Each structure stands twice: as structure tokens, then as C-alpha cells.
């Protein structure tokens, strides 16, 4: 019986098929995986009339991990509220797979520190992970209007905080496994003002007590926003609720300055498959030209190996190969500064494969 991990590939639209095909070549070089490629997004609307079919969702739920390219494009842009939209596929996957933790690492490649809006000495050695709660908090609480006032309610339960805290401690431990050193978690809240934050802090502290191998500190969100730009390299794993996480993960993403380099993961219950995808969109402006930067998808595949399949060694090999290729000066057009020569998707993929083979 073949017990190789089952990976569902959802290339999607625009540059999605180009970057996912490149990631598949990489994974095939690294080991034995069983791939199942499926339609999701605009391509699924064209074929089936919906962005995500029940069959594709079922295949994702039965897999060990899902790797997604990107969805959407002008072809499916519509103002008709009843017309199907590609993003409905993403929402359907998040809900149908029970994904409640979003992980966004920020680790600028040493060769690209000059792309950061921060000074090189501030951004150097930054290697952090933002873990954001995805399904609770003020975005999902009761909201409404009464005359000239409006309200949005923020609610969190012990269970919701506990599971995201556990996801963050596990992620911190997986990261430490790969690089050595201590695992550290910074929990971000507003416990001086908000009752939900006081519950958050209490529960995260209890989960911390149960994970004594991981160091835990608490930071108020206003302070965290400042520290992220003044000393980003001091952070390891940051865990926070939905609204704070929405803002801090975008702030962190900007630290690198390179959209084509950012991976992400969304995780569900223990043992359930996660969804791994680049942060960028389907880049319809460059689709089909062979110039898409596949590195964010490679780094998403590395997250899949580390956080989804328990293969931290192989994840580290991908990350080291990406750094090496950038260190040798190879650049896709989105990464190049004026005057630098550029390579396409195939050339940079070949170069990463050579590094991995060494
Ligand atoms: P985008 O991220 O697709 O593109 C923004 C700019 O960055 C473009 O100039 C694009 O060429 C460039 N770019 C992005 N990724 C790149 C890569 N890997 N290599 C080289 N260049 C890259 O954002 P957008 O233009 O706002 O959106 C385009 C489409 O993507 C829209 O339909 C949007 O809804 C969709 N989208 C999808 C996702 C997703 O699937 N998760 C996320 C964001 C946007």
C-alpha cells in the first residue's frame, strides 16, 4: 500500500497553474507524494458553474494537505450579486475544512533585505510568524444600528482561545525544531481595556503553563505594532485574535517589501489537513507569460511540509535553496531593481531544483 502523503493541488486562475506546476516539480524532486489536481475558483465556475464543487471539497477534506495557487481575474469580475465569484471557493474551503488559524511567516531572504522599507540593520535576521485567529472576535459578533449609533460585538470563548493558543505553541515548536534554539510565543492583546483580551490572556497563560518548553510573553497590541517595526528580529511566534491579527499580519507582510515572496498557511483541528497558499493574488496582468515568481508558492510548500506533513527537514531544504538562488543574484522581474537582468519561472525553478539536488 502506498502511504505517501496525499496532496490536493488547486492551481486556480491567472498565474496559479504556472506557479503550482513549478511547486509540483520541486515536491517531486524532494520525495514521494500522491497528487490530486482539481479545479477551484474561476476555472471551476467555467466548468461547473460554482467556484468550489462538493467533490473538490470532499477531496480536500480527505487529503493530508492542500496547496493552492490563486484565484480570480477580470473574466469573473461582476456586479451581479447572484453571479458566482472565485473568492467563494476560498471561503467555502475555509469553512468546509474548519480552518481557524492563519499562519504568515516573515523571513526576508538575506539577498532581498534592501527591498524592505526598513533599514537593512533593522530588518536583518528577522524570522517571525504571525498566528491569527480566523473564525471569532468582532468580525463574527453581533452588529447593528440603532438610530444614529452602531455597534459591533467582540466575543471569544475559552475553547476558541485554547485551540488557537495550542496551534501557536505547536507552530513555535516546529520552527525551533528546524533551526535549533528556543521556541518563543508572544501573545498580543489589549488586556488593559478589553474583557475578551483578559480572558485571552488568562487562557493563553494556562496553555503556556502546559507547554513549559516554549517561552511565553504578553504584549499590548499598540506596543506590538510599534515593536514590529522597531525591532522585528526580536520576535519568534506572535499569536493574536482576529482583528489585531488582520492588522499585524499585513504590517508584518510589508516588512519584506516583496509580495511575490510571502507564503501562508491556514490550519484546522489537530490531524485535519491544512491549506497552504501564497499571499499574492492571481496576477492576471502577467499570466501566461512565463515570468511569474514561484518562490512564495515554494515557501508555501515548505510550510506545508513543516506544519502539515511533519517534514521539517525538507521544508528547511526548500528555504535554503530559495535563499541560495537569490544569493546568486537570480531575479524574476517583480524582484529586480532597475538595470538587473531577470529570469522567468522555469529558469528560477530549475535553479532551485539544482540547489535542492546538491
Ligand atoms: P495580485 O497579488 O494578483 O497582483 C498585484 C501585483 O503584483 C500585480 O502587478 C502582479 O503582477 C504582481 N504579482 C503578484 N504576484 C506575483 C508573482 N508571484 N510574481 C510576479 N508578480 C506578481 O493582486 P491584484 O492585482 O489585486 O488581484 C488580481 C486578482 O487576484 C483579483 O482577481 C483578486 O481578486 C485575486 N486575488 C486572489 C487572492 C487569492 O487567491 N488568495 C489573493 C489576492 C487577490
Q: Respond yes or no: is residue 246 known to be catalytic.
A: yes
- Residue 275 CB less than 6 A away from ligand 1: no
- Residue 280 CB less than 6 A away from ligand 1: yes
Q: 141-164, pLDDT tens digit by residue?
A: 999 999 999 999 999 999 999 999
Contact 331, 294 (CB under 8 A): no
Residue 35 has φ and ψ, to the nearest 5°, of: -100, 145
| SS3 category, 337 | coil
Q: Which of 46, 159, 250, 285 is catalytic?
A: 250
In this prediction, residues 119-144 reach a mean pLDDT of 93
Between residues 271 and 8, the one the model is more confident about: 8
- Residue 281 CB less than 6 A away from ligand 1: yes
Q: 295-329, pLDDT tens digit by residue?
A: 999 999 999 999 899 998 999 999 999 999 999 99
Give the Å distance between the CA of 279 and the centre of ligand 1: 9
Which residue's alpha carbon is at the smallest distance from atom 8 of ligand 1? 283
Q: Respond yes or no: is residue 250 known to be catalytic.
A: yes
Q: 210-229, pLDDT tens digit by residue?
A: 999 999 999 999 999 999 99
The whole-number pLDDT of residue 307 equals 87
Q: At residue 351, does pLDDT exceed 80? A: yes
Q: At residue 340, does pLDDT exceed 80? A: yes
Chain centroid to Cα 249, Å, comes to: 10
Which of 112, 253, 280 to probe ligand 1 with, by most ligand atoms within 8 A of CB? 280
Which of 283, 293, 300 to probe ligand 1 with, by most ligand atoms within 8 A of CB? 283
The whole-number pLDDT of residue 314 equals 95
With bands split at pLDDT 50, 70 and 90, how would you rate the model's confidence at 140? confident
Q: At residue 356, does pLDDT exceed 80? A: yes
The percentage of residues in the chain with a pLDDT greater than 90, rounded to a whole number, is 83
* DSSP run (H or E) holding 97: none
Q: 62-107, pLDDT tens digit by residue?
A: 999 999 999 999 999 988 888 999 999 998 999 899 999 999 999 8
| CA–CA dist 268, 336 (Å, integer) | 37
Average pLDDT, the chain: 94
| SS3 category, 241 | coil
Contacts of 29 (CB under 8 A, 6+ apart): 353, 356, 357
Which residue's alpha carbon is at the smallest distance from atom 34 of ligand 1? 72
Q: At residue 179, does pLDDT exceed 80? A: no
Q: For ligand 1, what atom is nearest to the CA of residue 284?
A: 28
With bands split at pLDDT 50, 70 and 90, how would you rate the model's confidence at 173? very high
Give the Å distance between the CA of 206 and the centre of ligand 1: 40
Helix residue spans in 191-311 (DSSP H): 195-209, 221-230, 242-254, 295-303
The whole-number pLDDT of residue 104 equals 94
Give the Å distance between the CA of 262 and the centre of ligand 1: 12
Q: 226-252, pLDDT tens digit by residue?
A: 999 999 999 999 999 999 999 998 898
Give the Å distance between the CA of 259 and the centre of ligand 1: 9
Q: 250-291, pLDDT tens digit by residue?
A: 898 888 878 889 999 999 988 899 999 999 999 999 999 999
Amino acid at each position: 500500500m502506498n502511504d505517501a502523503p496525499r496532496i490536493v493541488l488547486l492551481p486556480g486562475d491567472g498565474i496559479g497553474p504556472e506557479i503550482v506546476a513549478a511547486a509540483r516539480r520541486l515536491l517531486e524532486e524532494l520525495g514521494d507524494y500522491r497528487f490530486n489536481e482539481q479545479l477551484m475558483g474561476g476555472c471551476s465556475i467555467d466548468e461547473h458553474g460554482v467556484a468550489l464543487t462538493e467533490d473538490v471539497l470532499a477531496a480536500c477534506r480527505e487529503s493530508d494537505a492542500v496547496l493552492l495557487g490563486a484565484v480570480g481575474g477580470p473574466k469573473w469580475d461582476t456586479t451581479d450579486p447572484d453571479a458566482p465569484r472565485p473568492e467563494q471557493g476560498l471561503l467555502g474551503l475555509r469553512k468546509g475544512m474548519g480552518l481557524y488559524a492563519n499562519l504568515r511567516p516573515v523571513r526576508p531572504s538575506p539577498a532581498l533585505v534592501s527591498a524592505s522599507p526598513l533599514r537593512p540593520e533593522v530588518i536583518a535576521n528577522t524570522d517571525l510568524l504571525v498566528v491569527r485567529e480566523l473564525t471569532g472576535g468582532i468580525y463574527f459578533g453581533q452588529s447593528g444600528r440603532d438610530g444614529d449609533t452602531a455597534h459591533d460585538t467582540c466575543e471569544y470563548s475559552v475553547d476558541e482561545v485554547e485551540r488557537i493558543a495550542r496551534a501557536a505553541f505547536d507552530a513555535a515548536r516546529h520552527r525551533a525544531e528546524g533551526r535549533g534554539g528556543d521556541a518563543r510565543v508572544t501573545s498580543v492583546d489589549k488586556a488593559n481595556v478589553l474583557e475578551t483580551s483578559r480572558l485571552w490572556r488568562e487562557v493563553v497563560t494556562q496553555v503556556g503553563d502546559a507547554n513549559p518548553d516554549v517561552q511565553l510573553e504578553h504584549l499590548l497590541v499598540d506596543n506590538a505594532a510599534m515593536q514590529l517595526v522597531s525591532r522585528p528580529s526580536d520576535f519568534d511566534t506572535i499569536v493574536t485574535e482576529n482583528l489585531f491579527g488582520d492588522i499585524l499580519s499585513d504590517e508584518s507582510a510589508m516588512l519584506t517589501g516583496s509580495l511575490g515572496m510571502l507564503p501562508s498557511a491556514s490550519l484546522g483541528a489537530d490531524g485535519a489537513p491544512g491549506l497552504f497558499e501564497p499571499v499574492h493574488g492571481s496576477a492576471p496582468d502577467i499570466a501566461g507569460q512565463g515570468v511569474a515568481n514561484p518562490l512564495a508558492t515554494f515557501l508555501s510548500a515548505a510550510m506545508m511540509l513543516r506544519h502539515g506533513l511533519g517534514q521539517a527537514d525538507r521544508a528547511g531544504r526548500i528555504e535554503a535553496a530559495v535563499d541560495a538562488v537569490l544569493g546568486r543574484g537570480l531575479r524574476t522581474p517583480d524582484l529586480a531593481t532597475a538595470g538587473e537582468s531577470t529570469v522567468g519561472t522555469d529558469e528560477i525553478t530549475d535553479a532551485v531544483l539544482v540547489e535542492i539536488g546538491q
